[in-house]
Structure 1
Amino acid sequence: MMSHIKDQLLLKSELSVWIFLLLIHCSEGQHQLIGPTQPIVAMFGDDIVLPCRLEPAVDAAARTVEWSRPDLKQRIIHFRRDSVDLLTEQNPSYTRRTSLSISKLKSGDVSLKLSKVKLSDAGTYKCIVSKYGTESAVELVVGSVSSPEIEVSKDSSSVVLQCESAGWYPEPEVLWLDAEGNLLSAGPTETVRGPDDLYSVSSRVTVEKKHGNKFTCRVQQNNINQTRDTWIHVSADLFMVHSNLSARITTTMAACVMTIAVVVFIVWKWGQTRTKRQKEETELRKREMWMIGNDVELELLMEGQRDREQSMLGREKMKYLEMKKAKFDEQLQKNEEELKHVQQVIEVFKKQKEDLKTQKEKLLSLQEKEKMKIKEIDMMKDPLLDKKNKQQKREKAKQEAAQKNTEHEELLKNTEKLLETTEEMIVKMTERKGKLKTNKEQIVKHLKSTEQQIELQKKLEESERKEDKDNPPLNKQTTEQLQGRPQVELDQPEEEHNNPC
């Protein structure tokens, strides 16, 4: 009986051990890798974490962890084994951009941090912890966005809005909305893909007064769930129709700014030109007197010093030639500086002339429009058919048009005066430039002649030094003997001839 009880207890003990081991095995087999159910969206250049964790949590710091992209030829993105990151097989495009958090690994979090996301990073990533034989997939979507900008332009009786936005990925779409949020019919979107694979989009829409005054350009990308809006308020004055004769010719704020700028420019430029012209005329007279003096001096230098040159010898002549050359160099430098200054002045005046011509054309166009407006008002005026308030509006519009026309005429007169003055200055400065060039040619000619004389004088001195070296001078006693000896030799035959012997 006792032995039977012992056998039962032993059987129960063994059974408990097997059950315990089975439970451990089952509990280990129940670990799963949990990842996100939705794609992860990252913006170009940002840092992102690809989530992946063990459930239930267990220390994975010493486990083998692998992140990969099956669509790549070199699929390893990050590999860790025995608590060491082994990155020799890592795809080169991910170098120094991936990491695992040691502290999070201890709690079963094997998420991968990806730094400075690129457009090419988009794809499906696999997370594997080898011991548990499970894996998790994470889809990464990479995008890039930028805020759009709106420009306004006028097209007869309507207004054209253009929306542009650069630096998008993937390719976005462009929508136009009115003040109530209703879609507007726009032309086809122009899309350009740059060398960096980012998209630039542009869209134009023509709007009318019936659409309201507020318009929104919306650029959106549904894959990355990104939207950027920019709105603009269009003044009612911009919606000017030709048949509406009560509207002013200049309706846009840009036109108002232009008119003010033109007035300020004319007044300022007129005052500046008068002062500048007086200074330049004074300076011109001074420079002409200076050049006349230089010309006289140059002639004296050439004609009056030739005799002196011929009487000079040796170092004295060389010193004189060097001084002469220095004088020509100084005159040449002054000539070139003044020539450069004159050329700069001519360029400034030419630029001003072109600007004034453009301004004149614009003023003539505005003036013609105002005259046409007055004629149209006179033709439509009919007291028998018009009501009193309409007639008053037309009279007011006519007065405004006449006032604008008077302003344009005054601006046009000032512009023409400035243009005439500018052309006169261009002619004067061009003539001055010609004179300076002629003087420069003369100076260069004389300078080259002087340099040739200096070279010739150097060669002459060198030749004299060489000759003196080969034939040293005699001392005084020898010279006296040589000078006296011929006299004795010449006198001696005469004495012999007179001797009777």
Structure 2
Amino acid sequence: MSPIKNKHLLVLHHVVAVLLFLTQTCGGQHQMIGPTQPVVAMIGDDIILPCHLEPAVDAVDLTVDWSRTDLKPRSVYVRREGVELLTEQNPLYTGRTSLSVNKLQCGDVSLKLSTVQLSDAGTYKCLVPKFNAETVVTLAVGSVSSPVIELTNVKNKMVLECKSNGWYPEPQMLWVDSEGKPISVEPTKNVRSSDGLYAVSSKVTVEKGQSYSFTCKVQQKNISQIKETHIHVSGDLFMVQSNTAVHIVINLAVCLISVGTVVILIWKCEQKETKISKHDEDENKLHQTEMEEILQRECEEKKRLEDELQNKEEDLKHVRQTIEKLMEQKTFLKDQREKLNTLLQEDKAGMKEVMKKLEKEKAPTFDKEKKLHKREDKKTDLEKRTEVHEELLKMTEKLMEETENIIIQMTERKGNLEKDKEQIIKHLREKQENERDLEETVRETSERH
């Protein structure tokens, strides 16, 4: 076999292998595993929608498609050949979805959804087309708040009103006594505000002189949430109607109060300074508690930013590696194109030479006829080689164009990740400074105590 044919076959083998790698599929051997129960998240949470291939396989370079059929466009997150396709994503999910590269290597294609919104509730489809494997994940979104009880004294009755705002889905409210038994109350009021959340309230009335312990419960079974608050109502809270005996007792009390006023004033003067000191101490303790709570929130936010920074660094590392591989592939394809162009030039030159010799040997003789057949065979062989080389050149140029497009997308993605990383680092520095200041304030407050 000639060296030219060897070159031709090597190039053909490589390009076909690349095309097969890009387009091959297999089915029936893998399945997608998702949760059997709905995933429950509260508004504002960051959650994971579980989904993984079984048996596990490296899915870094596979197409992964998360979607919702009730949306237009339907795409929640699309990843093809290691690249996120942001242009196909529904605007509701911009900047809020991601996959972990480390987990993808183990076949885990779970979707991270940040800052959950009320509109995120629904059924999601997780699909890896290569294996024709898919499953569905249901997300239930909720919102809760603790109830509060307000007391109103109306004549000989005490009205207790329980209120709770910011619930989703629509909750139920009930009152129970100290033994946990439901008690009869006025009809519950449920009102939905413009933000889509529900406010619920209910009243219960207690007669004069009664003493009760009550619990107001607000519950939402779909998201398995219960919030409650307790109150004890004593008969001492009610107004007592006056009569003649009461007036006599009051007159005697006034006399005694008059006699003891001077003593009480002196005692109050002595206690005033103590109360002021105690009040300052209570305020300091309250301030310290508030600072500690703020410090705790800052620490949690710092931890969240550190996790997010780690994810960004993983994504950035993968993007850089992908760009490096693509640049190597681009260089290789460029070399292949040049080799194919050289082969085509050789084919055309050979064809031209054969045509000249065929023109010279028009008058047929026995010897010339044999030469003519050989040259016709050579011409046919050159035509086939030229056709194959041209087809390979077209495929190579197409691969180069696709590679260039992916490089552009990955470079854009790299720039966005680097900007996000810089912002996170900036926020982390601010959180660290705030944390140091808060720790110093808490320490100073503790030392003063």
What's the TM-score, normalizing by structure 1?
0.44
What's the TM-score, normalizing by structure 2?
0.49
